Amino acid sequence: MPPSTILGYAARAVGQPLEPFTYEPPQLGEHDVRVSVTHCGVCHTDIHAIDDYYGITTYPFVPGHEIVGYVSAVGREASGLKEGARVGIGWQGRSCMRCEWCLKGEEQLCMDIVQSGTWVPYGGFSSSVIVDSRFAYPLPEAMPSQVAAVLMCAGVTVYSPLRSYAAHPSPKIGIVGVGGLGHLAIQFARVLGYEVTAISSSPEKKEEALAFGADHFIVSDDRTGMRQVLFGFDLLLCTVSGRIDWELLVNTLKKNGRLVLLGFPDVVLNSTDLVAHQLSITGSFIGNRARMREMLSFAQAHGITPAVELMPMSRVNEALQRVRENKARYRIVLVNDTVGVGI
């Protein structure tokens, strides 16, 4: 393989296992940096995209958007980052910087969001990526790379709504799903002063959920346990994308309560409950750049630490399968064992 070639892992078609894939380095734009990937987390969004759940995936598709690595090339206008700097990169690798939302500092809502993903053209299951330098975040020196990687997507995605929607001085929250996002949400929520109930389909996760900081644990299929928390929560953070008993779940919200959707489940809701209890339903997408920087400092200051399983990147298909089967505990981070092969 010529030294200028990048080695990644790509799905060639919908739902297919990833295969080694070599490609020419994309051109470095004025504001861009090239980053040699050392670590990349496996987010469930990668799997949805491999399966083309969003209807926007183009193949060959190289997933991966919880990236840590070292800057290896810097565009002419890319100020603030030097070669050799360690940076983190999340789902968003660029934005138009011109639309109403970018101008308001809500870059995650950019009108050109489909082209803003870090995996355009190719993502972080790879020897290197190119992103706009304004979406490559210098990391706290003492933060281990596998920790930072998970914070870049799972971390900011749960931190952002926890900051935005704490309505009361000591709010009660239900966190639905104890996976990559959920186990971090428990940790952040605890530090932010919430009384935390983890709601999980996996009874065996109880001890770990309590160790992450949950005050209570309920098995979602346990109708008796769920009925005990009717009208119990100010906020529900839903991180699952599978089957949910929506009626039961929504009735655990207090009047005026809010359900925040982070995962992508099929939602079937009874309008009577929503109207009569004055409930709000909100989607929440990653976080803007300011939130990302704030989250990194907050996580470092409060010792927020994802539970990580490290695996070599060459075993990416095994990692994806573990996530599909809900077996990851609680985030798999791929360590690049192809460094030195490509650029």
Positions in the binding site for ligand NAP (CB under 6 A): 43-45, 48, 153-154, 157, 177-182, 200-202, 205, 239-242, 262-264, 284-286, 323, 326, 328
Nearer to ligand NAP among residue 29 and residue 215 (C-beta): 215
CB of 27 to ligand NAP, least distance (A): 28
Nearer to ligand NAP among residue 72 and residue 305 (C-beta): 305
Work out what residue 96 binds among ligand NAP, Zn ion, none; the CB cut-off runs from 5 to 8 Å by kind: Zn ion
129 with 156: CB under 8 angstroms? no
CB of 305 to Zn ion, least distance (A): 18
Nearer to ligand NAP among residue 182 and residue 257 (C-beta): 182
Quickly list DSSP for 258-301: EEEE-S-------HHHHHHTT-EEEE--S--HHHHHHHHHHHHH
57 with 50: CB under 8 angstroms? yes
Token duo for residue 74: 């810097």
Nearer to Zn ion among residue 102 and residue 178 (C-beta): 102
CB of 120 to ligand NAP, least distance (A): 16
Work out what residue 285 binds among ligand NAP, Zn ion, none; the CB cut-off runs from 5 to 8 Å by kind: ligand NAP
Quickly list DSSP for 156-203: HHHHHHHHH---SSS-EEEEE--SHHHHHHHHHHHHTT-EEEEEES-G
Is the backbone peptide bond immediately before 20 cis, with ω within 30 degrees of 0?
A: no
CB of 162 to ligand NAP, least distance (A): 13
Nearer to ligand NAP among residue 37 and residue 43 (C-beta): 43
Residues at the site binding Zn ion, with contacts judged by CB under 5 A:
43, 45, 95-96, 99, 102, 110, 153
Enclosing H/E stretch for 229: none
CB of 153 to Zn ion, least distance (A): 3
Quickly list DSSP for 59-95: SSB----EEEEEEEEE-TT-TT--TT-EEEE-SB---
